[in-house]
């Protein structure tokens, strides 16, 4: 997984409206880049809806939220529409970005090992540097932790 202080690798992925999104489009802004396993699942729905809840405060902090999973553009569109998500959900169908950021890892579920996305979040500063990494996120209060840390980082803390 990429470490704090690392330059965030640029990428181009389609969002839920099949529009190309480049990370470099957000240079000069704070970015909350979060990786999640799968649309329409309980944990991922909670995480997305929680980020949507604090989106006005994130907007006030001049930051954007980008969610990334391997789901298709069409599935992202259904997920966003169903839950009223207004931030961008990016489709990394080939898992290239997930691999680059180090979140595509071996996981275990019910004794079976498989490769999958480890729920993780990165805060990227306006210069494109990763300033905070959250590996193996627990969704319940994660959105509040990210918002608090974003505010602290913006103040230079």
Active site residues: 44
Residues 6+ apart with CB under 8 A from 14: 20, 21, 73, 90, 91
Of 69, 108, 109, which is closest to residue 91 (Cα–Cα)? 69
């Amino acid at each position: 997984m990429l470490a704090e202080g690392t330059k965030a690798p640029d990428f181009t992925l389609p969002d839920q409206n099949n529009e190309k999104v480049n990370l470099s489009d957000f240079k000069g802004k704070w970015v909350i880049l979060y990786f999640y396993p799968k649309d329409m699942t309980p944990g991922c729905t909670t995480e997305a809806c929680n980020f949507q809840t604090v989106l006005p405060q994130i907007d006030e902090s001049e930051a954007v939220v980008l969610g990334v999973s391997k789901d298709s553009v069409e599935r992202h569109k259904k997920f966003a529409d169903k839950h009223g998500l207004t931030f961008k959900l990016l489709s990394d169908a080939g898992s290239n970005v997930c691999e680059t950021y180090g979140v595509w890892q071996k996981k275990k579920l019910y004794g079976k090992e498989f490769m999958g996305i480890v729920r993780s979040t990165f805060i990227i500063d306006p210069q494109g540097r990763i300033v905070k990494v959250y590996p193996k996120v627990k969704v319940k209060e994660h959105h509040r932790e990210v918002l608090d840390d974003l505010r602290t980082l913006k103040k230079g803390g």
